[in-house]
Amino acid sequence: MSSTNLKRYPIAQRNLDQDAWFLYQTSSLAYYECCARLCEDFAHLYDSLITDNGVHGAAALDYW
């Protein structure tokens, strides 16, 4: 019998520069500020879609 390979994919040489760049980008303060700004922009857009059409009356999404 052959031994079972439990690894998901073959592990090659890791690119530490790429790993460091990714971790820096996704853990930096600027990244989270951008995420917060995009969430606020989406909330305003969604709120305008609900309230401008008169479908739901004066619905507000301030609790977002």
- Residue pLDDT, tens place only, 7-44: 666 667 778 888 888 888 888 898 899 999 999 999 88
Question: Can you give the pLDDT at residue 9?
Answer: 60
Report the alpha-carbon distance of residue 52 to residue 59 in Å, rounded.
10
Question: Can you give the pLDDT at residue 15?
Answer: 82
pTM, full prediction: 0.49
Report the alpha-carbon distance of residue 10 to residue 38 in Å, rounded.
37
Report the alpha-carbon distance of residue 34 to residue 44 in Å, rounded.
15
Domain chopping of the chain, boundaries: 16-52
The CB density around residue 48, as the number of other CB atoms within 10 Å, is: 11
